[in-house]
Amino acid sequence: MRTFVSAVAVLIGLAMAAVAVPAMWVERNIVQEDGFVALTAPLGKDPAFQQRLAAAAVNSMGFGGQQLPGALAAVVKPILDDAAQSLTAMPGYSDAWAETLRRSHRLSFADPRTLPPEVSGTTSLTLDVAPLVGLVVARVSAVSPVPLKAPDQVRIGIGQSDQRQLIERVSAYAPMGSAVAVGSAIAFILAFVAARRKWTVLAGTGIGALVLAAVWKFGADAAGRLVLGTGNGDDVAEIFKREFVAASTAGFGQWITAALVAGAVLLGAGIVPRVVGARRPAPNVRRATNTGSMGA
């Protein structure tokens, strides 16, 4: 009975860990604002993404005549294009990009009831690049005879329809990962306490961790291919999506590597003492051998 209880507890612990680890990673790196900013901050250094993002931001500013007279717009336009091309080299770019990510995260993960009217009805993800546009406007205003005012928001859609509903589900279920992880740990402790042969629990848990690491790797790659396979034809959205998938895969890959190491350690901790113990002669055999030698 003890062996059966121990085996069932190990299986339950592995099943719960299979759900808990991805949920905890999503909670820390996507649902939480600071984690999302840390994960996606390197995207702003990608030259192709920066160039297309700057172009999209500038095009959305409406300098064709809304803020500047037509004649003056022709003079300012080259300056504007130059500022957009050198966006990443401007002082304050890193802070502006981080603020862009924070605003965008709030738009995507906020309670739908708190969203602005122009966003609450949309079903796709949105980037608010107003902080980046502010840098460009400041550069242009420094050489323009007409003072320019940066817009409060400049939003660019980066996702497909119905993705906001998916985010709402993720936001609801991902925080449960920590509780499930605690339940998994309790199951493993129960399995170890109930087991007659402790080494079998260590070895079985280690093998299970190695299997889970392989499952997580397969699942992460499949999810990445699924996301990359959905396109909306927008250059900014496509590059953001590609770089976000790469960053997410690399970030979760560190957790997979940790699971591989933990699994190997547990497997070794279970098998090595067993192998060493099997090679040692039993006490009765040693005693009989010693007695025979004395008699001789």
- The domain spans of the chain are 2-28+167-287, 30-160
Q: What is the structure's pLDDT at 177?
A: 92
Is 70's pLDDT higher than 70? no
Nearest to 158 by CA among 233, 99, 98: 233
Q: What is the structure's pLDDT at 203?
A: 92
**In sequence order, what are the residues at sequence separation of 6 or more whose Cβ sits closer than 8 angstroms to the Cβ of residue 231?**
238
d(Cα 71, Cα 73) in Å, to the nearest integer? 5
Residue ranges of E strands in the chain: 126-128, 155-157
Q: What is the structure's pLDDT at 64?
A: 40
d(Cα 39, Cα 268) in Å, to the nearest integer? 34
d(Cα 32, Cα 28) in Å, to the nearest integer? 5
Phi, psi for 10 (deg, rounded to 5) = -65, -45
Is 117's pLDDT higher than 50? yes
The two three-digit tokens of residue 134, written as one number: 């502010």
- The string of pLDDT tens digits covering residues 50-65 is 777 767 666 665 544 4
Average pLDDT over residues 4-13: 92
Quickly tell me which residue has 């172009």 as its tokens.
Answer: 55
38 versus 63: the higher-pLDDT residue is 38
